[in-house]
Amino acid sequence: MKILVVNAGSSSLKYQLIDMETEKVLAKGGCERIGIPGSLLKAKGNGKEKVYEQDMPTHKVAIELVLHALHDGEIGVIKSMDEIDAVGHRMVASGEYFKKTTLVTPEVVKTLEEKTFELAPLHNPAAATGLKACMEVMPNTPMALVFDTSFHATMPEKAYLYGIDYEDYKKYGVRKYGFHGTSHKFVSGEAAKYLGKNPSELKIVTCHLGNGSSISAVDGGKCVDTTMGFTPLAGVLMGTRSGDIDASAVEFLAKKKGMSHSEIITYLNKKCGVAGISGVSSDFRDLIAGAEQGNARCRLALDMFAYQTKKFVGSYAAAMGGLDCIVFTAGIGENTPLIRAGVCEGLEFLGVKLDKKANEGKNDGSVREISAKDSKVKVLVIPTNEELVIARETAELL
Ligand code: AMP
């Protein structure tokens, strides 16, 4: 069985074609600048790479070009479109309308458009454009929606509710939904495999630390809490997002800066986080270089990030009543020993003991154990693979 995984943004469309028997990526690539002059597709297949510089005014043209690349003599990996058994679409927000991976029907598209667009106005309409383009070009191929939020659907009410009027939660769906669910699901599952345990036996804190960051408590294979909220703005400070902030401080800041509601939210999403604290960059490589050169605000940004992440690890250990394993994943989690050390430092009382040398080891794409042999809590670095989860969920649904 071959599954095409599609992740569509407003002007981009990334894809992978995955063979489900071997779980190998047969082809992958991305269209850039859809609807903007200068659009191109960078595609890989057959061990080769090809760049198609072609006008892509719409997502429909983009998906047609992707299918052409999948057939292309040089880099093609399939002979006919019939070889694609299904398409799995990454969808960011589900609200309370979709609790799990869902087969696409006209009714589903209607609910997606009418109920979820306002929850993720930057992501869901763009992904739906990609979905509809695929449905037009591949009308007989089953499509699935795989939501970033699904893995968090097991959170209990006490974890996902905000302390607002319960009737308002019911009326408007304002609650914590969580994001990065496919990543938290993948790495917690891989951790159980690596440890040779059944997921039901483990209490794991998964730290997805990338440009966007979220931390989840996974108890017995199920998510019981997570740091992102109604939107991905909540939790730890991130590349450019503020993370948690007192709602009254937001109003105060907006007044001082003469910003409207939407302007202050854009500011909190795009101008804050470690980029705002350091005044240098959202990229941790730049922050580390800055801190090494004595830039105190780069140092502060790194310290804040590790401190806030550590606080969530500790609070989730308390929420689960124990801790067997901490997993680090995503760009920062997989590549930054300094942050992993900063998060684990001071957690010795919970039974966390890092192996310094193992922590400094290079990311080789494999699962790496970075805790000391006598550490009660295992600390693992696990490369995430969100596309594989989307493909697996789509295949399971079929
Ligand atoms: P992601 O969103 O998972 O792609 O993560 C992107 C972020 O990971 C970048 O903004 C960097 O801050 C960080 N990152 C990626 N590679 C490295 C690296 N080799 N060393 C330190 N940080 C890295």
Q: Is 227 in the pocket of ligand 1 (CB under 6 A)?
A: no
Q: Is 110 in the pocket of ligand 1 (CB under 6 A)?
A: no
Question: Ligand 1 centroid to 211 CA: how many Å?
Answer: 7
With beta carbons less than 8 A apart as the criterion, state whether 356 and 367 touch: no
Confidence at residue 122, expressed as pLDDT on a 0 to 100 scale: 82
**Number of separate helices (H) and strands (E) present in the chain:** 15, 14
Residue 165: both structure tokens together = 């009027």
* Mean of pLDDT over the chain: 96
Confidence at residue 216, expressed as pLDDT on a 0 to 100 scale: 98
Question: Ligand 1 centroid to 142 CA: how many Å?
Answer: 34
pLDDT, tens only, 262-296: 999 999 999 999 999 999 999 999 999 999 999 99
Q: How far is CA 21 from CA 24, 117, 150, 318, 327, in A?
A: 8, 35, 24, 40, 27
Q: Is 232 in the pocket of ligand 1 (CB under 6 A)?
A: no
Q: Is 210 in the pocket of ligand 1 (CB under 6 A)?
A: yes
Q: Is 85 in the pocket of ligand 1 (CB under 6 A)?
A: no
Q: Is 230 in the pocket of ligand 1 (CB under 6 A)?
A: no
H-run or E-run covering 343: helix 337-344
Q: How far is CA 343 from CA 203, 243, 325, 333, in A?
A: 18, 17, 13, 10
Q: Is 330 in the pocket of ligand 1 (CB under 6 A)?
A: yes
Closest Cα to residue 354, out of 376, 334, 336, 382?
Answer: 376
Any idea which fold 2-147 has? Nucleotidyltransferase; domain 5 (3.30.420)
Catalytic residues: 148
Q: Which amino acid is at 53?
A: E
Pocket test for ligand 1, best of 183, 283, 329, 363 (most atoms within 8 A of CB): 283
Atom of ligand 1 minimally distant from the CA of 212? 2
Q: Is 284 in the pocket of ligand 1 (CB under 6 A)?
A: yes
Q: Where in the chain is the domain with CATH 3.30.420.40?
A: 2-147, 196-381
Question: Ligand 1 centroid to 278 CA: how many Å?
Answer: 16
Question: Ligand 1 centroid to 339 CA: how many Å?
Answer: 11
Confidence at residue 91, expressed as pLDDT on a 0 to 100 scale: 96
Question: Ligand 1 centroid to 283 CA: how many Å?
Answer: 6
Q: Is 278 in the pocket of ligand 1 (CB under 6 A)?
A: no
Which pTM was predicted?
A: 0.94
Residue of the nearest CA to atom 10 in ligand 1? 283
With beta carbons less than 8 A apart as the criterion, state whether 5 and 130 touch: no
Confidence at residue 120, expressed as pLDDT on a 0 to 100 scale: 87
Helix, strand, or coil (residue 132): helix
Within 138-206, where are the H helices? Answer: 157-160, 166-172, 181-195
| Alpha-carbon gap, residue 385 to 289, rounded angstroms | 28
Residue of the nearest CA to atom 8 in ligand 1? 331
Closest Cα to residue 381, out of 347, 333, 344, 345?
Answer: 333
Q: For the chain, which ranges sit under pLDDT 50?
A: none
Pocket test for ligand 1, best of 14, 148, 211, 214 (most atoms within 8 A of CB): 211
Question: Ligand 1 centroid to 225 CA: how many Å?
Answer: 24
Question: Ligand 1 centroid to 210 CA: how many Å?
Answer: 6
Say which CATH architecture domain 196-381 belongs to. Answer: 2-Layer Sandwich (3.30)
